[in-house]
Structure 1
Amino acid sequence: MTALSDKIKAARDAAEEVDVAESAIIDQIKASHDVFKDIEWPGVPGVKVRMRLLTVSEARKAKVDNQQEFNRDGIEIGMQNLADYREQEAVHGMWRAFSDPATGKPVFTSAEHMRTLCTNDELKALCDAYNAFSDENDPNLEKLSDEEFEQLKDILKKKPDQIRSKVLSLPVAWKLLRILVAPQEN
């Protein structure tokens, strides 16, 4: 019986080692995506909020929540209200992106909470700031000019460890990999 219990104990120990290794990797991944920036609240000098990039899961949840809200309210989505639908989708994401820089606590508790506290101009300014921040940290291949792409490539040649904070977009990463690894033509 002791041989069996020794095998069980060894299996448990091995499983714990795997859990610890996976946990360390997950912690590294989370830390590499912890991208944030403190900005002034639109039109209110001296009031700062922390803006962070949403994860894919949070962005997807924002889309689902928005669709459910429109369905719950009995609003059909069509050409006549597509702009409103997109704006509200942004609000569902934006409330998740802002926190108090001093405490780290979220500024808003829901999309409705954000809508009750913000003007249309503030929402637009916050969305613009978020989109610019997102583009800065996750360049979109379709929006990058050839010159901007070359600058990004040169930065990453000099400091390859910055790829975590500079490139989250898979198409941009693939293009960089293809160009940097492929044999150079003279």
Structure 2
Amino acid sequence: MPSPSWAGSTWVVNNAGYGLFGAAEELTDEQVRHHIDTNLVGSIQVARAALPHLRAQGGGRIVQISTYGGQATHPGATLYHASKWGIEGFMESLAQEVAPFGIGVTIVEPGGARTGFRSTGARLAAPLAAYDGTPAAMVRGIKNAPLSPGDPAKMAEEIIAAAQRPGPLRLVLGSDAYTFVRDALAARLAEIETQKESAAATDVPAA
């Protein structure tokens, strides 16, 4: 197995994607297809296209830009979460596939950053009156939300630094991202732990 060399190899920064928000029922079929084609399929195809070149040079790293929303969820962002959870599953599996070639993978999970993502990059579905006043409707105010805590320049510096060292697979950036991811993982683990006996009860009995 080749020894990974992060600093001297090519990095592929995979940032295909945009934000599409609204309750699942508010989205059109065309919006669903375009969003998944861009955020999920687009990122998959970029990685697939890069792999032959990274293998040929004996290593490298794929830096996949995701979001804390690849681990935690909010109402009104169903499709966005679907695309990010999908690419995180793909990249986590890919990391195991390409490790023998000295290729590393970093999944970047930033929180809110002071960029134009909310004000100009976010797209909203046409609202349905049925969702007025529900949790899903809160996302309609995303363009006027308070300033995010994340500093884009500091985040970029940390991504560059992380790409030059082995691990972590997931790079969490921003105090909000840390809190959301930690709380989501803790809640999922707590729920699963209560099912240990019921899960085992579905096994074929030991001979």
Q: TM-score, normalised by structure 2?
A: 0.24
Whose helix proportion is higher, 1 or 2?
Answer: 1
Structure showing greater radius of gyration is 1
Name whichever structure is richer in strand by fraction: 2
TM-score of the superposed pair, with normalisation by structure 1: 0.26
